[in-house]
Amino acid sequence: MQEWEGKKVFGGIAIGKIYVYQKGQQQVRRMTIQDPDAELARYQAAKEAAVAQLQELYEKALQEVGQANAAIFEIHQMMLEDEDYQESVEHMICTQQVNAEYAVAVTGDHFSQLFANMEDEYMRGRAADVKDISERVLTVLQGQSGGSVQFSEPVILVADDLAPSETVQLEKDKVLSFVTVHGSLNSHTAILARTMGIPALIGCPVPLDATVDGKMGVVDGNTGKLYVDPEPAFLEQMKQKQLEEQEKKQLLQALKGKDNVTLDGQHILLYANIGNTKDLAAVLQNDAGGIGLFRSEFIYLERDHYPTEEEQFQIYRTVAETMGGKRVIIRTLDIGADKQCDYFELEKEDNPALGYRAIRICLTRPEVFKTQLRALFRASAYGKVAIMYPMITSVQEVRQIRQIAEEVKQELQEQGIRIGEPEQGIMIETPAAVIISDLLAKEVDFFSIGTNDLTQYTLAIDRQNSMLDAFYDTHHPAVLRMIRMVVEQAHAAGIWAGICGELGADPALTKTFLEMGVDELSVSPGNILPIRKIVRETDVAAYRQEMQERT
Ligand code: PEP
Ligand code: MG
């Protein structure tokens, strides 16, 4: 048995087969298919999409680099239409009943080997081209089937690192656990693992090779350990532990339907953070009072094009309707920093976290912003939708945003489109916003404190840099004082204030937040019932007294 240690992202025990995910060269698994005709149609559609992509590339290259250099894309199109190549793929699908991905990958390898062994130098050079076109078709096929990585059974996913765009495209019900070699505790990949409520480790120096791939594994998210090829007795022991954890979770179920009220009668709202409509099941199962943060940028990250107004409207409407009148706070897109989206064509920056991200993109690309706002206002007719703006640093920005939102509202009304009256609030996640929170409170309906970024900007610690995890002091008094200040300023202006950063789910601070008068905590769905338990066991007045006596 091999044993590896990493940093803990989310507790719990996962037991299953390990899948090593290699970036860039996604492994294609052979799968038996039931319907060869449907598979042939998938292949044809993917091939046509690949040819269309190549045509676009050809035209672009023709303009930019001339006919001679553009010709390669014409050659690639011809290769894709080559009869021998096509026949080989189709034959494999029909006679071996394998998935199109596998047939394309094997054919690509086979043809490129043939070219590589040829005498003629020019023909030998074509080996790379065949590989290239096969990979293009594979990318389309994998995109079509809803994600870049597919598994036939639930797996423990082991990778070097995962970008948020890769994480969001994983088939979530097929991932038992994440283990990454790199990555920081505060990255969005870690946040997504928490939202999924699965055991996860990062910074785990496990080798990404055959000594691990395909082997049986156990992840213990409570101790930060990954065990590969466990001995039978140890495996039994871990299965028993897993069972005990499930029983503990079961006990928490008794708290479903109960109020979030302290022993001395103080109420707090417990909402859920989501990134996707797929997270809604967990939200309902865990009895969330609403959605406190829907990270809408994941809708953008899942696609290779700007989501249309209609696509977005359908998603927001589904969330609003599913929550049946409970508050649903949707944050406008927070692209940039670690959340990169190719089609936004953002320039590379030296300090992306301090750069062109979130509302800064929206205010300089009003067409993108307005499309999202139209979808949000339309969805607000179908439930209790609230709109939240990220990365605010000034009153001026908020006024500009409110002006654009007003224009969008008027346009929709003039077009006779039904809209609701969504609350509009802002994230408090920069020190500037904290310091002027008295002024900002006059401009908006609510505040939600983004402690992940607020900690990053207050302590001058890049949340993406895993070397700094030890310095990223989530309980730093500067951050806690800021939270108190924001809540006080919000209440003085008659608005409510919540916390939607990861700190909101820290059980060691629940009492502190109650004592500060925080109105809402938005946490990953799996954390709602454990926090409700603490709330219901707390006597805020007694805790305040205890704190005063200590100082
Ligand atoms: C935060 O910064 O705390 C937050 C909730 O936003 P994100 O983690 O998506 O940056
Ligand atoms: Mg943030």
What is the pLDDT at residue 136? 82
Picking from 158-172, 183-197, 422-436, 512-526, which range would have the lowest pLDDT averaged per residue? 158-172
Shared domain check, 501 and 455: yes
- Which residues 6+ apart lie within 8 Å of 89 measured at CB? 43, 100, 103, 104, 107
Do 129 and 46 fall into the same domain?
Answer: yes
> Residue 451's pLDDT is what?
98
Asked whether the predicted pLDDT for residue 144 surpasses 60, the reply is no
453 with 417, same domain: the answer is: yes
Pair (8, 104) in one structural domain: no
Whole-number pLDDT of residue 91: 94
167 shares a domain with 137: no
Best of 500, 506, 520, 524 for a ligand 1 pocket test (most atoms within 8 Å of beta carbon): 500
> Measured in angstroms, how far is the CA atom of residue 388 from the centroid of ligand 1?
12
Nearest CA to ligand 1 atom 4: 450
The pLDDT value given to residue 145: 40
Do 438 and 538 reside in the same domain of the chain? yes
Closest residue by Cα to atom 9, ligand 1, is: 295
* Residue of 204, 341, 362, 500 marked catalytic: 500
- DSSP class of residue 346 equals P
pTM listed for this prediction:
0.75
What sections of 179-333 are H helices per DSSP? 188-196, 232-252, 280-285, 297-301, 309-322
* Nearest protein Cα to ligand 1, atom 8: 452
Please write the tens of the pLDDT for every residue from 352-384. 999 999 999 999 999 999 999 999 999 999 999
242 located within any domain: no
In 10 A of CB 120, how many CB atoms?
9
Would you call 188 a catalytic residue per the annotation?
yes
Please give the pLDDT value at position 256. 95
Each residue's pLDDT tens digit, 370-419: 999 999 999 999 999 999 999 999 999 999 999 999 999 999 999 999 99
User: Does the beta carbon of 297 sit less than 6 angstroms from any atom of ligand 1?
Assistant: no
User: For residue 427, what is the domain's CATH number?
Assistant: 3.20.20.60
Number of domains the chain contains: 3
- Same domain flag for 195 and 324: no
User: Is any atom of ligand 1 closer than 6 Å to the C-beta of 500?
Assistant: yes
- Give residue 271's pLDDT band: very low, low, confident or very high (50, 70, 90): very high
**With 50 as the cut, is the pLDDT of residue 110 above it?**
yes
| Catalytic (active site) residue 204 | no
If asked whether residues 198 and 267 sit together in one domain, one would say: no
Same domain, 192 and 292: no
Residue 245 lies in a domain: no
DSSP string, 108-125: HHHHHHHHHT-SSHHHHH
Q: Are 315 and 321 in contact (CB under 8 A)?
A: no
Measured from the CA of 503, which atom of ligand 1 is nearest?
3
The mean pLDDT of 442-460, rounded to a whole number, is 98
Indicate which ligand has the atom closest to the C-alpha of 294.
Answer: 1
- Specify whether 403 is located in the same domain as 525: yes
pLDDT of residue 165: 72
Q: Exposed, middle or buried, 87 (CB in 10 Å: 0-12/13-18/19+)? A: exposed
Ligand 1 centroid vs 405 CA: distance in angstroms? 22
pLDDT digits (tens, 9 = 90+) for 33-90: 889 999 999 999 999 988 988 888 778 667 765 676 667 778 888 889 999 999 999 9
Q: Mind listing the pLDDT tens digit for each residue in 320-356?
A: 999 999 999 999 999 999 899 999 999 999 999 999 9
**Stretch 225-239: mean pLDDT, rounded?**
97
Cα–Cα dist 467/122, whole Å: 48
